[in-house]
Structure 1
Amino acid sequence: MTTVGDVIKELNTAYPPELAESWDSVGLVCGDPDDEVTRVAFALDCTLAVAERAVELGAELLVVHHPLLLRGVDTVAANTPKGKVIHTLLKGGCALFSAHTNADSARPGVSDKLAELVGITPGRPIKVVDPRARDKWGVHIPQASVRTVMDALFSAGAGKIGNYSECAFEIAGQGGFTPLEGADPTDGEVGQHFSAPETRVEFVADARLRRSLIDELRRTHPYEEPAFDIVSMEEDVDLATATGLGRVGELPEPMTLRDFTQQVANALPETAWGVRAAGDPDQLVQKVAVSSGSGDSFLADVSRLGVDVYVTSDLRHHPVDEHLRAGGPAVIDTAHWASEFPWTTQAAGIVAPLGVTTEIISIRTDPWTVSAHPEN
């Protein structure tokens, strides 16, 4: 018997949860890991129509890319949009699992599939995401609060090295500051310089914990503006095989941007959004960067990598205009759904060896439904 938990184990091996971005929410959303599975459905989004189709197919597990509950909710009542989806799945005996940014960074992952479709062999990531990556911290704390602050940071995962926990180095010193108008200082008075003994505590922590540790530091530190610094500790990684977001590769032969844009459009699922490009249509391109889903945050990165063209989704007017004015590579903008939906075949291939039936739900969940051009 194959269970929901068995399928999740395979998916987590292919798409390790530790590769997920710190803000993300991946894994089992609803359902019992001990329930039997004979049929698994795959889709990009868990809309109500997709949930209903999964139940109609008799799937006991629905695997999606985009998390249904990425942003916090305080109810999943059946009369709310997301609650209706949850109730539809549970009443139909179907669990829900999502692999999001962990599937983006995994190798092979979502961008590998996109790279292959547009005609390049996926090479290095645009941004390396290494689960081994660590930060070195230095935090300045009033002496009386050292234990309170550090206990909170240790509880949040800081200070672990191998088989040791709560690892730190403390340096005694003297801190000073002058509170300005509008400040509400714990120590000292507005307009008067204050100085007192402080302790600098140095420790290491997994880079993926950076955001949560900053939040915990601000919550527990007695000062309005705690003084701290974070240095990324470089790891020795092989870029050709490293995990991370996006991929870079080369076309077998140079081609014009116009022809490559058409090649991308021919390779991806058709949408009303279509495919558009920015740059000289006659420019020859060969070195290509791709990033499935929203990718304008990588415009500066691809410029530094010396690519000829960047394929991604959800590009905006001003970032693209400024990018091109700064001499950045040409860009090709696809529909978000189109750049990521092909991943479903990759995910289905991971699960199929378990002996379960796999079904790809081809409902187009791209929200755009009409594309219009002026009539001649």
Structure 2
Amino acid sequence: MTTLADVLAVLDRLYNPAWAEDWDAVGLVTGDPEQEVRRILFAVDPMRAVVDEAIDGGFDLLVTHHPLLLRGVNSVAATTPKGRVITDLIRAGVALHVCHTNADNANPGVSDALAAAIGLRDTRPLKAMPAEPMDKVVVGVPVAETQAMLDALAKAGAGRIGNYERAAWSVTGEGTFRPLAGANPAIGTVGDIEVVAEDRIEMILPRRHRRAVREALIAAHSYEEPAYDFYELAELPSERGGGRVGVLAEPLPLADFARLVAESLPWTAHGVRVAGDPERTIETVAVVGGAGDSEFARVRAAGVDAYLTADLRHHPATEARAYGDPALVDVAHWASEWPWLADAERLLLEGLAGRGSTVDTHISTLCTDAWTLRI
């Protein structure tokens, strides 16, 4: 049996709630972690029509990108539209889980799916999140104890670099000390200067493992008072973060690029809006799934030919156009995020398969974009 907790464990690994923006509301909205999950529906919005699709289709879990309760509420009574949705989900035993800006900042995430839909290559984050804070531990040990110390530090979480573990650097030198009265030296005699051949060991570690590594170091070291240092390493960008910047398989005139976007994304009444010279050559592109006019400064700094996003407002767009670069391609909010659903479905199924679990999944094709008619 696959439980909701099993599914959430995979989703939280793919889209860690810690990656969400501090204003966001992600995670489980309704549902019992112990309930069985056999069928899962993926959708962009937890709208009434989508909730009805989940209930009528016998789905046990609805996974959406957008939150149902982004802002705080004092009541979920069925007298309000959102209260009715909550009431009906609970009555039907349908769990609701939200992956919003934590999915935007994931790798792969929402903007990766948008970039892939239009064929972008060699992508990188537009707004890179910092990598996990790292330390370097440095300790001197008698040469004969080096391998045992490496094992102890590695077991505590140090020395992991990509697909390698127990990675370390060492050099042999001399350590010297004079034990004072009251000392109980492992090597040497109280009052006498001692010189010992030692290896200086250096290993990196996630900062969250600092305490465990320190405890392991002290436990493994033969000295009564071992000397060691922890250095906080410089913050580096990670492969996670909002938006993506990439290169088209071949350069296209802006008009043709806009047609490629229209053909690659689901149809909406909004369509595809373009600002720029239709004959301008487009090769490098920045994309942001969802509303993206807050990222104009980063897009401009990236030096791309075109910016594909949604919900561009008049004043930010006209100000951006005043700089001359890049061309703007504006699509419906829903359409820009819908490609992510297939990625989330695939990755969840792979994650569950690795745990020996199987579920039936479905992607909602209901268009829940706010605009339904264009005249």
Do both share a fold (TM > 0.5)? Answer: yes
- Contact 2:121–2:249, Cα closer than 8 Å, also in 1: no
Q: What's 2:335 paired with?
A: 338
1:371/1:303 Cα in 2 relative to 1: closer, same or farther (>3 Å)? same
Q: Distance in 2 between matches of 1:122 and 1:338?
A: 23
1:296 aligns with 2:299: no
Which one-letter code corresponds to 2:340 in the other structure?
Answer: W
Give, in angstroms, the shift of residue 52 of structure 1.
1.2
Unaligned segments of structure 2, at least 5 residues:
135-207, 213-232
Deviation track 1:250-297 (CA, whole Å, cap 9, x = no partner) reads: 012111001000000000000000001111111001001000000001
Q: Distance in 2 between matches of 1:16 and 1:346?
A: 16
Q: Distance in 2 between matches of 1:250 and 1:94?
A: 41
Give, in angstroms, the shift of residue 48 of structure 1.
1.3
Give, in angstroms, the shift of residue 162 of structure 1.
4.3
Q: What's 1:364 paired with?
A: 367
Q: Distance in 2 between matches of 1:286 and 1:87?
A: 49
Deviation track 1:174-227 (CA, whole Å, cap 9, x = no partner) reads: xxxxxxxxxxxxxxxxxxxxxxxxxxxxxxxxxxxxxxxxxxxxxxxxxxxxxx
- Contact 1:116–1:122, Cα closer than 8 Å, also in 2: no
1:87/1:310 Cα in 2 relative to 1: closer, same or farther (>3 Å)? same
Match of 1:311 among 308, 311, 316: 308
Match of 1:285 among 278, 282, 286: 282
Give, in angstroms, the shift of residue 237 of structure 1.
3.2
1:243 aligns with 2:240: yes
Q: Distance in 2 between matches of 1:161 and 1:51?
A: 42
Give, in angstroms, the shift of residue 163 of structure 1.
3.7
Give, in angstroms, the shift of residue 72 of structure 1.
0.7
1:265 aligns with 2:268: no
Q: What's 1:104 paired with?
A: 104
Which one-letter code corresponds to 2:124 in the other structure?
Answer: R
Give, in angstroms, the shift of residue 35 of structure 1.
0.4
- Contact 1:39–1:60, Cα closer than 8 Å, also in 2: yes
1:66 aligns with 2:66: yes
Deviation track 1:26-69 (CA, whole Å, cap 9, x = no partner) reads: 11011101101111111101011111110111111100000101
Give, in angstroms, the shift of residue 249 of structure 1.
0.5
SS at match of 1:123: strand
- Contact 1:114–1:342, Cα closer than 8 Å, also in 2: yes
1:72/1:249 Cα in 2 relative to 1: closer, same or farther (>3 Å)? same
Give, in angstroms, the shift of residue 327 of structure 1.
2.7
Q: Distance in 2 between matches of 1:19 and 1:130?
A: 11
Q: Distance in 2 between matches of 1:131 and 1:261?
A: 34
Count residues with an aligned counterpart: 277
Unaligned segments of structure 1, at least 5 residues:
135-159, 165-232
Match of 2:272 among 272, 275, 284: 275
Q: Distance in 2 between matches of 1:162 and 1:371?
A: 58
Give, in angstroms, the shift of residue 122 of structure 1.
5.3
Give, in angstroms, the shift of residue 132 of structure 1.
3.0
SS at match of 1:124: strand
Q: Distance in 2 between matches of 1:121 and 1:234?
A: 29
- Contact 1:19–1:130, Cα closer than 8 Å, also in 2: no
Which one-letter code corresponds to 2:125 in the other structure?
Answer: P
Q: CA RMSD in A?
A: 1.9
1:87/1:270 Cα in 2 relative to 1: closer, same or farther (>3 Å)? same
Which one-letter code corresponds to 1:362 in the other structure?
Answer: T
TM-score, normalising length: structure 2: 0.71
Whichever of the two has the greater Rg, that structure is 2
Q: 1:62-211 alignment to 2 at 5 Å?
A: 62-121=62-121, 123-130=123-130, 132=132, 162-163=210-211
Deviation track 1:289-316 (CA, whole Å, cap 9, x = no partner) reads: 0000000011111100110001000001
Deviation track 1:64-121 (CA, whole Å, cap 9, x = no partner) reads: 0001011111100011111111111111110000000010110111111100111202
- Contact 2:21–2:101, Cα closer than 8 Å, also in 1: yes
- Contact 1:251–1:287, Cα closer than 8 Å, also in 2: yes
Q: Distance in 1 between matches of 2:310 and 2:210?
A: 40
- Contact 1:312–1:339, Cα closer than 8 Å, also in 2: yes
1:363/1:339 Cα in 2 relative to 1: closer, same or farther (>3 Å)? same
- Contact 1:123–1:248, Cα closer than 8 Å, also in 2: yes
Q: What's 2:199 paired with?
A: none
SS at match of 2:123: coil
1:355/1:268 Cα in 2 relative to 1: closer, same or farther (>3 Å)? same
1:350 aligns with 2:354: no
Q: 1:16-95 alignment to 2 at 5 Å?
A: 16-95=16-95
Q: Distance in 1 between matches of 2:337 and 2:10?
A: 20
1:292/1:234 Cα in 2 relative to 1: closer, same or farther (>3 Å)? farther
Q: Distance in 2 between matches of 1:79 and 1:50?
A: 19
- Contact 1:52–1:89, Cα closer than 8 Å, also in 2: no
Q: Distance in 2 between matches of 1:248 and 1:92?
A: 42
Which one-letter code corresponds to 1:85 in the other structure?
Answer: V
SS at match of 1:362: coil
- Contact 1:19–1:131, Cα closer than 8 Å, also in 2: no
